[in-house]
Amino acid sequence: MSELKKEFAQIIANQLNDVLSLEKIEKLIEKPRHSVQGDIAFPCFTLAKTLKKAPQLIASDLSSQISTPLFERVEAQGPYINGFYKREAVSKEIVTAILKQHNAYGSAAIGNGEHITIDLSSPNIAKPFSMGHLRSTVIGNALANLTEKCGYKPVRINHIGDWGTQFGKLIVAYKRWGSEETVKQNPIKELLSLYVKFHKEAESQPALEDEARFWFKKLEDKNEEATALWKWFRDESLQEFSKIYSLLDIEFDTYHGEAFYNDKMENTVALLKEKGLLTQSDGAKVVKLDDSGLPPCLIKKSDGATLYATRDLTAALYRQEIYHFVKSLYVVGHEQSLHFQQIFLVLQKMGYHWAEEMVHIPFGFILKDGKKMSTRKGKVVLLEEVIQEAITLAKKNIELKNPGLPNKEEVAKQIGVGSIIFHDLKNERLNNIEFSLEDMLKFEGETGLYVQYAHARACSILRKAGNVSGMNTGLDDDYSWELVKTLMAFPDVIQKSLRLYEPSQIAKYLINVAQEFNAFYSHIRVLEEDETLASRVSLVNAVTVVLKEGLRLLGIKAPEEM
Ligand code: ARG
């Protein structure tokens, strides 16, 4: 933890008489790989260069006379100065700090309340909410929580895909083969099957494609019939999506989707023209990017229709104007990498320095039996059904293991949803993920359930302990110590997780805490009446704080009983 690191750096600095600044010393400090090498280490290689002296020699000179309250001993091992914490003192200090700060433990004042916009989820109207959108939703939400934890103000933007040529196709399909009643009954399923049917029929009747283009043009020209159908599809779809969001318990600051920018795009095009960036190419308007080795960014088609890129450029301008973001994140699958490279480059060419703070945060696919899931052929898994299934499985588990549990429904939801989120977030985001409900809901191994269960177990110990009198005086056995050291790392893990835009850092960390807690719990008699009872109960309490807050950052609930 940074307090101890600071203390260690100070110890070294005191011996050094300004040869190296405190800040530089802190940067060089590392965590030894093996615990026999101590808990914290300072390598002397940099000093060796400055002092023109062998690092081994420096280490032994510097470490010869150090004594401090939080360190048992500080000793040279080869070119390193290794510090060994005084377990009792340190564990007392850490656990006390965690219990005092409670869910603010791990917060950092890196941001200054500045906005970070996060473009996440962003499903497409009239199409199912895919597993890819789920990934964007849960990764984006976790990142938003992390930015907030680090002192920024996140703006969660759901950039709904509510515009584009697919609406032409959908209108054609609906007019030919659809009915109001069936769409109302089951909007997404019906709209999807119309969409799929369109593509199937268009293979043998290419004229359908022209008809779809015609209808999309009508929509762009605000034709009444086309607009009414569009709006209806949109409303029905949003209602369906909101079921998923409420299951996941995720809220957005805005639902401004692609259509929101319709009346703002002319301004973007004019700006591009003014800055001399627009080029004609086969009747279309593009921004050339060959100096960066990229294909041109298409701004307007030859028929005057705008594109996905035009809308994203406009959205970026709008977001900067409204939020003055210090960072702008786009949590979108890696197959759109080129698109975002192009957008960011065009904005830089326009002279906006803030474009350098825009980041595409890509992620891999969700696979089913090794193959990518796709919407167009109708092979997609409907997400709401998946979530419901996970909840049902969780409920079966509860009936089996703890049938007397109060509020079973609520807990089953927390477990089912938590399992799905955790299964996603425990993987580094660029990895593809094999979709398996069975794996998600395992009690053992790297699952959300495992972490939630550790939390619930810790809560149950606290319930049994009741009000313990006595002071937290610290602990020094190996199991407690491993646990304390891990709890100590939480703030660093949070910051690293945000720096890398990797919620998986938190997920893996929580698995670690849960494992160490389980080891502690199975080797130590936590509730034994002796002089360290209060210290052990405090440690268990600190474990619940960190597990609960860590899960919250991932967007997962921590039931107290399950
Ligand atoms: N609707 C798009 C899709 O499903 C994702 C939108 C991502 N966000 C953005 N600003 N382009 O592929």
Please report the pLDDT score of residue 2 as a whole number. 66
The residue among 65, 85, 105 that closes a domain is 85
Is residue 161 within 6 Å of ligand 1 at its C-beta? yes
Length of the chain: 562
How many whole angstroms from 120 Cα to the centroid of ligand 1? 8
Distance CA 316, CA 535 (A): 52
Residue 205 in domain: no
How many whole angstroms from 77 Cα to the centroid of ligand 1? 54
The residue among 64, 85, 106 that closes a domain is 85
Give the residue numbers spanning the domain of 447: 383-426+433-554
Q: What DSSP designation does 71 have?
A: E
Residue 71 in domain: yes
Q: Whose CA is nearest to atom 11 of ligand 1?
A: 312
Is residue 159 within 6 Å of ligand 1 at its C-beta? yes
Domain containing residue 64: CATH number: 3.30.1360.70
| Domain count across the chain | 2
Please report the pLDDT score of residue 70 as a whole number. 86
Is residue 135 within 6 Å of ligand 1 at its C-beta? no
Atom of ligand 1 nearest to the CA of 133: 4
How many whole angstroms from 156 Cα to the centroid of ligand 1? 14
Distance CA 458, CA 68 (A): 33
Is residue 137 within 6 Å of ligand 1 at its C-beta? no
Q: At what angle do helices 448-465 and 504-523 cross, to 10 degrees?
A: 40
How many whole angstroms from 172 Cα to the centroid of ligand 1? 23
Q: Which residue has the tokens 């299964």?
A: 423
* Element spanning 315, H or E: helix 308-323
Please report the pLDDT score of residue 442 as a whole number. 83
Distance CA 452, CA 507 (A): 12
Is residue 124 within 6 Å of ligand 1 at its C-beta? yes
Q: Whose CA is nearest to atom 6 of ligand 1?
A: 122
Atom of ligand 1 nearest to the CA of 160: 1
ipTM score for this prediction: 0.99
The residue among 85, 100, 121 that closes a domain is 85
Is residue 39 within 6 Å of ligand 1 at its C-beta? no
How many whole angstroms from 159 Cα to the centroid of ligand 1? 7
Q: Whose CA is nearest to atom 1 of ligand 1?
A: 161
CA atoms within 13 A on the CB side of 92: 15
Atom of ligand 1 nearest to the CA of 124: 1
Q: Which amino acid, one-letter code, is at 145?
A: N
- Which value, to the nearest 10 degrees, does the dihedral of the CA atoms of residues 172, 178, 183, 189 take? -80
Is residue 122 within 6 Å of ligand 1 at its C-beta? yes
Q: For the CA atoms of the chain, what is the radius of gyration?
A: 28
**Site to substitute for ligand 1 among 119, 122, 131, 160, most atoms within 8 A of C-beta:** 122
Please report the pLDDT score of residue 349 as a whole number. 98
Is residue 119 within 6 Å of ligand 1 at its C-beta? yes
How many whole angstroms from 161 Cα to the centroid of ligand 1? 6
Taking a C-beta distance cutoff of 8 angstroms, is the pair 113, 152 a contact? Answer: yes
Phi, psi for 185 (deg, rounded to 5): -60, -45
Taking a C-beta distance cutoff of 8 angstroms, is the pair 182, 172 a contact? Answer: no
Residue 365 in domain: no
Region of 205 please: left (phi>0), alpha (psi -120 to 50) or beta.
beta
Residue 226 in domain: no
In Å, what is the CA distance from 456 to each residue of 41, 123, 446, 517, 530? 36, 34, 16, 12, 24
Is residue 312 within 6 Å of ligand 1 at its C-beta? yes
Please report the pLDDT score of residue 377 as a whole number. 47
Is residue 261 within 6 Å of ligand 1 at its C-beta? no
- Which value, to the nearest 10 degrees, does the dihedral of the CA atoms of residues 535, 537, 543, 548 take? -140
Is residue 257 within 6 Å of ligand 1 at its C-beta? no
Residue 107 in domain: no
* Burial class of residue 401 (count of CB atoms within 10 Å of its CB; 0-12, 13-18, 19+): exposed
Please report the pLDDT score of residue 362 as a whole number. 98
Atom of ligand 1 nearest to the CA of 340: 11
Distance CA 212, CA 263 (A): 22
Positive/negative CA dihedral, 249, 437, 394, 554: negative
Q: Which amino acid, one-letter code, is at 192?
A: L
The rounded average pLDDT for each run of 10 residues, N- to C-terminus, in the chain (562 residues) is 81 86 92 88 93 92 78 92 93 96 97 98 89 95 98 98 92 96 89 92 96 92 95 94 95 97 96 97 96 96 89 98 98 97 98 98 88 56 83 94 94 96 96 86 88 97 93 94 95 97 98 98 95 97 98 98 94
Domain containing residue 544: CATH number: 1.10.730.10
Distance CA 472, CA 458 (A): 17
How many whole angstroms from 19 Cα to the centroid of ligand 1? 53
Residue 358 in domain: no
Residue 257 in domain: no
Is residue 330 within 6 Å of ligand 1 at its C-beta? yes
Q: Whose CA is nearest to atom 4 of ligand 1?
A: 123
Atom of ligand 1 nearest to the CA of 130: 4
Residue 24 in domain: yes
